[in-house]
Amino acid sequence: SSTQLSLYQQLDGRAGLTRIVDSFIYQIGNDEQVLHYFEHSDINHFREGFITHMCMLVEGPCTYEGDSMVDIHTGMHITEKDFNRVVDLLVNAMQEQNISQSIQNEILSRMAPLRSEIIKI
Ligand code: HEM
């Protein structure tokens, strides 16, 4: 009933998030710097988990029930440089899907606080 579209709606809901994450995975698959982190990962599992987690970040009707960001990423020894690279790849994916600059910025600002949970040497 509200005329104000939610961030989730502006992203075209789960379908739109799926397009972004598929572009993101394609970017990762072609990136020599970070691809090795995903070499032993189940990409379908990652895809579902990342879509659902992103859906929650944009206040969509999703509950991420996977492991915590700390538990997932601890032991991967993700450097700050590689963290930044993955964020760049997500930006490329959003760019590819014609996401507006303001929505990109909003998503990145919601992910930024997770940085310290993911970068753990
Ligand atoms: C803000 C940034 C990030 C967010 C929000 C994020 C989020 C997630 C989520 C939600 C999952 C998984 C899912 C699940 O099990 O359901 C996941 C898995 C994974 N992430 Fe991240 N991640 C981020 C940054 C990174 C970075 C920088 C790297 C590596 C350089 C990375 C490497 C991985 C890998 C390899 C997996 C798969 C683990 C497995 O094999 O199960 N992530 N991430």
Residue 66's pLDDT is 96
Residues of the chain with pLDDT under 70: 1-2, 121
Fold of domain 7-118: Globin-like (1.10.490)
Residue 120's pLDDT is 79
Residue nearest to atom 43 of ligand 1 (CA): 50
101: tokens are 């600059």
Q: Measure 4 CA to ligand 1 centroid, in angstroms.
A: 31
Backbone angles phi, psi at 23, to 5 degrees: -65, -40
Residue 3's pLDDT is 79
Residue nearest to atom 13 of ligand 1 (CA): 49
Residue 68, CB half-sphere, CA atoms under 13 Å: how many? Answer: 7
Q: Measure 98 CA to ligand 1 centroid, in angstroms.
A: 23
What are the domain boundaries of the chain? 7-118
Check: complex ipTM more than 0.90 = yes
Predicted confidence (pLDDT) per residue in 51-72, tens digit: 999 999 999 999 999 999 999 9
Cα separation, 73 vs 66, whole angstroms:
12
Cα separation, 71 vs 69, whole angstroms:
6
Residue 2's pLDDT is 63
